[in-house]
Each structure stands twice: as C-alpha cells, then as structure tokens.
Amino acid sequence: MAQGPPVNVSPNTDDSIYWASVYRLTAVNFRLSAEALLPNLELRDDGSPAKLTAIPFYFLVSHSIELFLKSALLKRGYVPANLKRLDNRHNLKALLELLKKKGLPVSAEATSIIEGLSSQHAEHLLRYHLLINPFMPPPARLWPVLDELLLVTRISTHGQ
C-alpha cells in the first residue's frame, strides 16, 4: 500500500506535552538506530570501541540522551523556549542538573555517562571535529542509562 505525502501538522509551539512526546519518540528512534549499528562496531576486550568508526553510534546515543532529558523536563513544567536557551541547548550536563533540581533521582552510572558525553555533544565534536580522545564507554554501559531515561519520560506530573 502506497503512503501519501507526510502530513504537515502545525502544533502549538508552546505545548510542552506535545513536544515532550515528539522528543521521546525521536529519542527512541535514535536509540533504535544506535542498536542497529552496534553489531558492526569493533570492540576491544574491555568492551570499548576499537575504532573511531564508532563515532556515529555515540552521536546517536548522545542525541537520544538529550531528547530523553528534554522530554522528561517538559513533562515537569518546563516550556520549550526555556530548553532552547543557549545554556541548555545541547548541554547534557545542564539538562541533567535541571532534572535533578526537580527532585528526580538519577543513578550515579547515568550521571557519569551523561557528564562524560556532555562536552563533546554540546560542542558538536561528534559531528564536526577530529576527536583525539573521545569519550566512548563500552556500549553495554549505555543501554541501562537509556532505559533509565526512558522511564523518567513516562512520568508526567508537574509537581516533580
């Protein structure tokens, strides 16, 4: 069955729940794309990537984390415009701190991974620069972090 052209929906740009849903769905798609790349990664004995050809994998994971964090914040009363401010935009560490200020517990492992990915993500180093020593932890450490963030996006109480 042939699909028609995409439907162009013009949402209310101030609708936090709409954008939280869009970010969550997009984050899941980035994660699924990262999972598709995983079988082709060459890994060392410690599980870390052996080659810089893993950079697209880490870009997908980092962007998924950013979108999960934004989704969780939007479901807790943040407005889209505040997440687009320069000090929050693409800054995983800043987004994580905002989430923690809302009283949400984030595991030490998730905090470590998010903080490790933050500067290279914020500065677009995974897209535009030659990385001498990129932060590329073993992929097995990433899946629990993404799972944790996905669960945080399910809660939609403005009180937290």
pLDDT in tens, 53-100: 999 999 999 999 999 999 999 999 898 888 877 677 789 999 999 999
Q: Cβ distance 89 to 157 under 8 Å?
A: no
Is 4 a domain residue? Answer: no
Confirm whether 160 is domain-assigned. Answer: no
Helix, strand, coil: what percent of the chain each, to 5?
60, 0, 40
Q: So what's the pLDDT on residue 6?
A: 66
Distance of alpha carbon 76 from the chain centroid: 17
pLDDT tens-place string over residues 139-153: 999 999 999 999 999
> Is there a domain that residue 101 lies in?
yes
2 domain residue, yes or no: no
- CATH number, domain of 37, equals 1.20.120
Beta-carbon count within 10 A of 150 CB: 17
Which of 80, 85, 67, 88 lies closest to 24 in space, CA to CA?
67
Total domains in the fold of the chain: 1
Expressed as residue numbers, the domain containing 84 is 16-154
pTM, to two decimals: 0.88
Q: What angle do CA 66, 67, 68 make, to 5 degrees?
A: 95
CA distance 140 to 148: 14
In a domain, 62, yes or no: yes
